Amino acid sequence: MNQMVASRLTAVSALSRSHRRLAKFVDWIKPEPDTAEVIRDQAGNIRRVITGQAEADGLTVLATPEAGSFAKSTGLRRHMRGDMEIEGQDVDLPFVVKPKTADGENIDNLLQRFDRYAAASYPKTPRSTTASSVELRFVESKLNYDLVPMLQAATPGYQVILKKDGTRRVTSVARHTEFIRRRTRESDELAGRVKFNECVRLMKWWRYVRIGTTSPIEEVRTTLIELLCASAYDRLKVERTYTETLSKWFAYLASVTKNRTQIAFTDYPSVEAYQENAPGNRLWKVIDPVNSNNNVVHTPWGNIELDEFASWFAAGRDAFARITSHESMGNDSAVDEILADVFGNAVLTHGDLS
């Protein structure tokens, strides 16, 4: 064995057990590289076909920007539902439209129209309607596409998100995507294996595991997780190992969520002037990086949900402190047990060290 190979093996073995498991695990939860081209081709076809249906129906499609976790490289190819590992990758497909009438701008009206377009274009493909999209589920490829109708904002490059309650939120799909990509690019320049977007993937998975426990929280928005991770990254960056990085992130976010510290960013100027009485959660604010009036914290969350959410991060902080302690004593079985409590048994099954 030459000296270079020996030194590499020594460096790998010096990394903690938990880091090596998490590194293998994140490779398992992230999309396979060869699916990217398949998604781009299929997404392009869906955009073209649905746009054709919309135009034939008298609805002008102004743009179909790249968006969501696929565009940001933070997506998962599988997730947890209870104790089950569910295969499937979600891809957002926004359609920025211009209806002919004010009534046509109603979200229910638009969702009904997009449901018709999807039914006509893909009659054998299962679909469902959510509060803001029509989901197409391609069973064979395990790819799910969310058709999201939006309006064009008065400011170029911005869109209007329509809510069920009739409110409208101005934001920017492209700027949100670049917000995440910039932090990933920056972390790519740092030494070591740990990358910002891979930590986001781990935190998204952790979110599913926590929701699967007995909890009053049934949903945590992906945007909320991404912005919390961005805040942790901006303050703490990433360390040499996933264990060190997540230990610091959980500790920081445990404090932020417990104290309900407002989180905001300076990447972009706000597209709207700040409004003191903008709609949104009054108890805690995590602000959209492009619009100071958009709070991404779930509006219905009260003290019970916010305290529960904070307890998740506190439990994560304490778990990683125990992991570090057990690793220092060589207690491998205890390390594995704690990892499984945080990320589910899948972290052991698919974070295999053999």
Compute the residue count for the chain: 354
pLDDT reported for residue 14? 60
Pairing relation of β-strands 159-162 and 168-171?
A: antiparallel
Buried b (16+ CB within 10 A) or exposed e, 205-235: bbbbbbbeeeeebeebebbbbbbbbbbbbee
Strand partners, 61: 97
C-alpha torsion 236→248→187→267, nearest 10: -40
pTM of the model: 0.91
**pLDDT one digit per residue (tens) for the chain, 354 residues:** 444 333 333 333 468 999 999 999 999 999 888 888 889 999 999 999 999 999 999 999 999 999 999 999 999 986 655 555 666 788 999 999 999 888 788 899 999 999 999 999 999 999 999 888 999 999 888 899 999 999 999 999 999 998 877 788 999 999 999 999 999 999 999 988 999 999 999 999 999 999 988 778 999 999 999 999 999 999 999 999 999 999 999 999 999 999 999 999 999 999 999 888 888 899 999 999 999 999 999 999 999 999 999 999 999 999 999 999 999 999 999 999 999 999 999 999 887 776
Structure tokens at 35: 């699916």
pLDDT reported for residue 15? 83
pLDDT reported for residue 48? 97
pLDDT reported for residue 80? 57
Pairing relation of β-strands 78-81 and 84-87?
A: antiparallel
pLDDT reported for residue 5? 34
pLDDT reported for residue 82? 55
Maximum CA extent, the chain: 74
Half-sphere exposure of 341 (CA within 13 A, CB side): 15
pLDDT reported for residue 268? 97
- How many CB atoms neighbour CB 88 within 10 A? 15
